[in-house]
Amino acid sequence: MKLSLRPRTQPEVNLTSLIDVVLLLLIFFMVSTSFVKQSQIAIRLPEAESTAIVDEVPEQIDIMITEAGTYLVNGRELINSRAETIRNALQQVSAGRNDLPLTISADANARHQHVVTAMDVAGRLGFTQISIATVNDPVE
């Protein structure tokens, strides 16, 4: 007995009706969407009575560290990079006021130890407002 196998036919999916339904749904949602602007709350802001503008710029201390490890305190170069020299310069510039903001800006190629030394000296003198300056990379 010889059995003959019939060739199988591949089922075919017709996507035309599916595309038509999706297109109709898209048109329906576009037509039925309402673009209503939500009501906004009107706020009346308070006004200041005094118009005096304070021209006084708050004092601050800047410590700059070069690639070679040279310290500059408020633009003045220190004679060496020892911690005692930095401490003496900070005490002289701050006149004993450790509530002044202090900004440390270092060259990108400066050693990490130089930045840590400056932060340590400032912390030991009681400075609490210590900031480290950074620069954002330009968008290419």
Higher pLDDT residue, 25 or 1? 25
DSSP, collapsed to helix, strand or coil, labels residue 77 as strand
Tell me, yes or no, whether 72 lies in a domain: yes
Residue 122 lies in a domain: yes
Q: Identify the domain containing residue 87 by its residue range.
A: 61-132
Give residue 84's pLDDT: 92
Does position 105 have pLDDT exceeding 60, yes or no?
yes
Instruction: Report the percent of the chain where pLDDT is more than 90.
Output: 24
Report the CATH number at residue 109.
3.30.420.270
Dihedral sign computed on CA atoms, order 99, 101, 106, 111: positive
Q: Which residues pair with 103 in a beta bridge?
A: 62, 131
* Residue 103 domain-assigned (yes or no): yes
Q: Is residue 12 part of a domain?
A: no
Structural domain contains residue 54: no
pTM over 0.85: no
Q: Which residues of 43-69 are buried (b: 16+ CB within 10 A; e: fewer)?
A: eeeeeeeeeeeeeeeeeebbbbbeeee
- Residue pointed to by tokens 């673009």: 35
Type of residue numbered 42: A
pLDDT over 70 percentage in the chain: 81
Chain length of the chain: 140
In a domain, 47, yes or no: no
Helices within 56-130 (DSSP H only):
83-94, 112-124
Per-residue pLDDT tens for 48-98? Answer: 676 666 544 448 888 999 888 899 998 888 998 899 999 999 888 888 888
Give the per-residue pLDDT at 41.
Answer: 66
Look up residue 104 and give its DSSP letter. Answer: E
Residue 110, in any domain of the structure: yes
What pLDDT is recorded for position 57?
42
Q: Is residue 35 part of a domain?
A: no
**If pLDDT is split at 50, 70 and 90, which confidence band does 37 have?**
low
**pLDDT at position 22 over 90:** yes
Count up the domains in the chain and report the number: 1
